[in-house]
Amino acid sequence: MKLWAVHTDNGVINYSFAYDANSNPTTIADDQRGGAYTRWMTYDGLDRLTGAGSGMFGGTDNWHRFTYNALDNITSWKLAGVKDYANYIYDASNRLTNIQNTTGASVVALSYDLQGNLQNKNGQSYYFDYGNRLRWANGQESYRYDTQGRRVTSYSPSPARIPILSLYAMDGKLMYTDDQRQGQTLAYLYLSGSQVARVRDANAPPSTPILTVPSSNVGGSYALTWSTTTATDYYMLEETTNGGTTWSTLYSGTATNAAVSGRAPGSYGYRIKACNARGCSGVSTTSTVQVLTAPTAAPTVSVPANTFTGTYTANWSLVSGAGRYELEESYNGGGWTQVYNGTGTAASFSSRAAGTYAYHARGCNAAGCGPFSGAATIQVIYMPNGTPTLTVPGSNTSGSYTATWTAVSAADRYELQESANGGAWSQVYSGGVTSTTFSGRTTGSYGYQVRACNAAGCGPYSATGTVSVVVTPAVPTLSGEGTKDWDTKPYPIVWAVSWSASQGATSYQLERQSGTTVTAVYTGPNTTFSENGSGTSSYSYHVRACSGSQCSAWSAWYAPPVN
């Protein structure tokens, strides 16, 4: 037997072969396409193929592996990661009935009729006649034969009962086929008993091909493909650059693909039709390729000025040529971080911490991204949740004092309320500092409470701080006279004094001095006093004003003149 060492066909194939000692081919090197297409084979001692490997086989290791039983029936066939025919099962007549995978699950199930013809494969049933000729495959196709056993008619249920008719010469050679499904006839030519040509003649124009194009492209170079249609002599591909107003022929030939290059950014439409001697099909639906350049304009971003919940939405305008958008965020003046990348024009945020957030966006497509927009800023503000600690003096004697309180995080102002002598609360301060001063408060009890506020609202009031004000009255001014009764011996004197009222005073204390003796003569709210004295009496008086237990200094001693 002559074994091939090299088999070539210029520019088409270039194989070289290696064999083992039993003339089994062990290597078929593909020198035309490269090492990935080279095949290696291994055999057992009975010259049965046990392995076949090639980079083109795929799987985890690129090797098909086979095992056999004592009757030379194949018992397993595996390609790791692809094919798992782990167990071939045969009946008593050595007919394959089942193929199982490694887990024992059935992969292929086969049954046979009484004559040994295949009757069912994985639920697909077949019927053979007594001449062992396939009559039909249920739901797929049915066949008729001439008296010589040659298939002359094939019917398929879809399209319904449209046949393929075959005509044979007396020596059994196929001479003519009328394929009414594909709308074509085929004539077969022979030379010295071997077929040398096939002549096709279409009965009608072909059907319309299906055109496939990329929706977009960067760079202006791309491929167009279309489906193969039967009874087709050539395809005609057309292009439009103005939305279909005019079309130009881009390709005419038998291939089912065309390469396009050098297209500037813009929109290009394509359509295809198939032709034969009977005419051309209708053109396909126009398919459009958008040759892209990066967007040149920036969107406009908008966000609310502030939010008191931490939940908000950033929106931006559309940009011509953009297929997606990138949104970046900066927190409290920090670096920019991408927070959205998609086709929409809005992004929602929630549970944001208090602070300042800035956003900018840009439009992008496959060619790149345009410029970022200007930044839009939002303040996330939460109502202060802390309570200030209020400090006021427990008591005061001047009516002037200061209330202070601690600062609270996130507060930009404070509200202070006052209640005088247990009355209603009224606001007496609202501002950004943490203290305020009071003056002119009269004797009484003054309660204070303060809370922290910002644009989102105010926190709780502090505990009440109370100031007990007891104002020291001013020193009164004494005046008066002694009136002697000259008509009555021993000429008694009526001493009458009065004093000025002191603001805030609730009582007055008056003392009299006679010689070295000092005697308290009046305590009460009045500002006048009189008493009788002997004609030889000589009195001096001084007075002080009191508010509760707080009293002014004593006035200077005053000796009223005697009239």
Tokens for 503? 């603001």
Residue that finishes a domain, picked among 449, 469, 489: 469
Question: Tell me, what's the pLDDT at 375?
Answer: 97
- Are 420 and 525 in the same domain? no
- Are 251 and 133 in the same domain? no
- The conformation of residue 72, written as its DSSP 8-state character, comes to S
Q: Tell me the pLDDT of the chain averaged across its residues.
A: 94
> What average pLDDT does the segment 264-284 reach?
94
> What average pLDDT does the segment 482-488 reach?
89
Question: Tell me, what's the pLDDT at 1?
Answer: 57
Q: Classify residue 416 by burial, with Cβ atoms within 10 Å: 0-12, 13-18, 19+.
A: buried
Is 328 among the domain residues?
yes
Is 343 among the domain residues?
yes
Alpha carbons 324 and 405: distance in angstroms, whole number: 53
- Are 486 and 446 in the same domain? no
> pLDDT tens, 105-156?
999 999 999 999 999 999 999 999 999 999 999 999 999 999 999 999 999 8
Question: Tell me, what's the pLDDT at 48?
Answer: 98
Alpha carbons 176 and 187: distance in angstroms, whole number: 5
Alpha carbons 409 and 138: distance in angstroms, whole number: 82
Question: Tell me, what's the pLDDT at 51?
Answer: 98
Nearest to 350 by CA among 313, 303, 301: 313
Nearest to 555 by CA among 496, 507, 517, 511: 511
Query: DSSP string covering 116-159, please?
Result: S-EEEETTEEEEE-TTS-EEEETTTEEEEE-TTS-EEEEEETTT
- Are 263 and 120 in the same domain? no
Of the pLDDT bands very low, low, confident and very high (cuts 50, 70, 90), residue 366 is confident
Question: Tell me, what's the pLDDT at 536?
Answer: 86
- The conformation of residue 220, written as its DSSP 8-state character, comes to S
- The H or E element that residue 202 is part of is strand 194-202
- Are 463 and 432 in the same domain? yes
Q: Are strands 216-218 and 287-292 parallel, antiparallel or unpaired?
A: parallel
> What average pLDDT does the segment 84-89 reach?
97
Of the pLDDT bands very low, low, confident and very high (cuts 50, 70, 90), residue 321 is confident
- Are 222 and 327 in the same domain? no
Is 447 among the domain residues?
yes
Task: Give me the half-sphere count of Cα atoms (radius 13 Å) on the Cβ side of residue 425.
Answer: 13
- Are 486 and 444 in the same domain? no
- Are 395 and 490 in the same domain? no
- Are 18 and 80 in the same domain? yes
Is 382 among the domain residues?
no
Q: What contacts 309, CB < 8 A, 6 or more positions away?
A: none
Is 192 among the domain residues?
no
Of the pLDDT bands very low, low, confident and very high (cuts 50, 70, 90), residue 157 is confident
Q: Quickly count: other Cβ atoms within 10 Å of residue 489's Cβ.
A: 8
- Please list, residue by residue across 118-134, b when 16 or more beta carbons sit within 10 angstroms of its beta carbon and e when fewer do: bbeeeeeebebeeeeeb
Alpha carbons 498 and 490: distance in angstroms, whole number: 26
Of the pLDDT bands very low, low, confident and very high (cuts 50, 70, 90), residue 415 is very high
Question: Tell me, what's the pLDDT at 43?
Answer: 98
> pLDDT tens, 424-441?
999 999 999 999 999 999
> pLDDT tens, 492-512?
999 999 999 998 889 999 999
- Are 464 and 486 in the same domain? no
CATH of the domain at 546: 2.60.40
- Are 11 and 113 in the same domain? yes
pLDDT at 329 > cutoff 70: yes
CATH of the domain at 238: 2.60.40.10
- Please report, rounded to a whole number, the percentage of residues in the chain having pLDDT higher than 70: 99
Is 561 among the domain residues?
no
Alpha carbons 543 and 527: distance in angstroms, whole number: 10
Q: How many helices (H) and strands (E) does the chain have?
A: 0, 54
Q: What contacts 133, CB < 8 A, 6 or more positions away?
A: 143, 145, 149, 151
> pLDDT tens, 4-25?
788 888 878 899 999 999 999 9
- Please list, residue by residue across 186-216, b when 16 or more beta carbons sit within 10 angstroms of its beta carbon and e when fewer do: bebeeeeeeeeeeebebeebbbbbebbbbee
Question: Tell me, what's the pLDDT at 349?
Answer: 98
pLDDT at 363 > cutoff 70: yes
- The H or E element that residue 109 is part of is strand 106-112
pLDDT at 194 > cutoff 90: yes
Residue that finishes a domain, picked among 257, 292, 327: 292
Alpha carbons 133 and 449: distance in angstroms, whole number: 106
Question: Tell me, what's the pLDDT at 428?
Answer: 97
Alpha carbons 198 and 184: distance in angstroms, whole number: 12
Alpha carbons 177 and 179: distance in angstroms, whole number: 6
Residue that finishes a domain, picked among 170, 186, 202: 186
Residues present in the chain in total: 563
- Are 49 and 151 in the same domain? yes
Is 140 among the domain residues?
yes
Is 378 among the domain residues?
no
Alpha carbons 99 and 79: distance in angstroms, whole number: 15
Range of the domain at 503: 478-551
> What average pLDDT does the segment 159-180 reach?
90
Number of independent structural domains in the chain:
5
